[in-house]
Copies of this chain bind each other. A is one copy, B any other.
Amino acid sequence: MTDRPSAADASRRGPAADAELALLLEVAGTPKPGNVDRARDLADLRFEHFLAGAVGARPGLERAAAGDPIGEAFETAVAGMSEQSGGNTQFGCLLLLTPLVRAAAADDRPLAPEGVAAVCEATTVADAAGFYRAFEHVDVAVADPPAGMDALDVRRGADAVPALREREATLFDVMAESAEPIDERGTPGDANAREWVEGFPRTFRAAEAIARDDGPIADRAARAFLDLLAEADDTLVRTQHGPEVAREVRERAAEIDSLDEAAAWADELAERGVNPGTTADITAAALFVALERGVAV
């Protein structure tokens, strides 16, 4: 008799491994119109870059699971993700997964919105600094900051840290700012930031849909992606192509009835360079929650 864990116990997937697997299942799910998936590469951004991005992110995800500060864990995950030549593959996914992994690892109970909300609300100014430093590892497509917020433009990277400290802005505060409506008509702010601020409502709803769905999990991911795309304008599409295109994509997604219909549309979006990346981020987060809640591969 020994206390040494068996090979089976030592090898059971924990939250960090499940998060990496969620990244892989997300990019494997096809068709995901406009995005790289199992069947489609973009010109300079290929499937293999996402594989390397997911593998590279694992040490940062392990740090999140181990209880290291969220900002450092996120920066480490992004730095590792960036060790491939395709550029930004999974920055937004990791922004959602880092607190989810922490919440899953910190609590024996099933992962729930309250748990991850508490993780997000407990973030510090140092976590915000880690988030800003993460932008130095990779080019991320972001919108211009709101008026008066130039000092906190994420594109400043570590140069923004003194301004963060001066304003005592935590990572939660930064996300709350990005989640604010972007105009007087109340157009919602960044969709990932809204997940952070609101307890990941779309992530958990999509995870429940994946759990209820049948068939291979990668196909469920593709269906979840289409449902998420039909439910709200994609932030990245709006940033890169404007609100009209974002609305068009949402409305078209709402008319899609099958993965076959989606496949034809996928080619059109890829040709136009319309890439609903934020919706893919939430799909990856939902896959993680589904895996944590026992959906099997």
- Residue tally, chain A, CB below 8 Å to B: 48
Q: By the criterion CB–CB under 8 Å, are A11 and B297 in contact?
A: no
Residue of B7, B58, B72 near A79 (CB, 8 A) is: B7
Asked if A91 CB lies within 8 Å of chain B CBs, one says no
A90 to chain B, nearest CB (A): 13
Interface positions, chain A 250-271, Cβ under 8 Å from B, are: none
Q: By the criterion CB–CB under 8 Å, are A80 and B20 in contact?
A: no
Q: By the criterion CB–CB under 8 Å, are A12 and B52 in contact?
A: no
Contact A56:B17 (CB < 8 A) given known A133-B7, A216-B46, A218-B48: yes
Asked if A85 CB lies within 8 Å of chain B CBs, one says yes
Asked if A179 CB lies within 8 Å of chain B CBs, one says no
Known: A8-B137, A12-B80. 17 other contacts (CB 8 A): A6-B79, A7-B72, A7-B79, A7-B130, A7-B137, A11-B60, A11-B80, A21-B55, A24-B54, A25-B48, A25-B51, A28-B51, A38-B39, A46-B216, A47-B218, A48-B216, A85-B297
Q: Give 4 nearest A-B pairs by CB, closest first.
A: A11-B80, A52-B297, A11-B79, A7-B79
A residues apposed to B, CB below 8 Å: 6-8, 10-13, 17, 20-21, 24-25, 28, 38-39, 46-49, 51-52, 54-60, 63, 72, 75-80, 83-85, 130, 133-134, 137, 216-218, 296-297
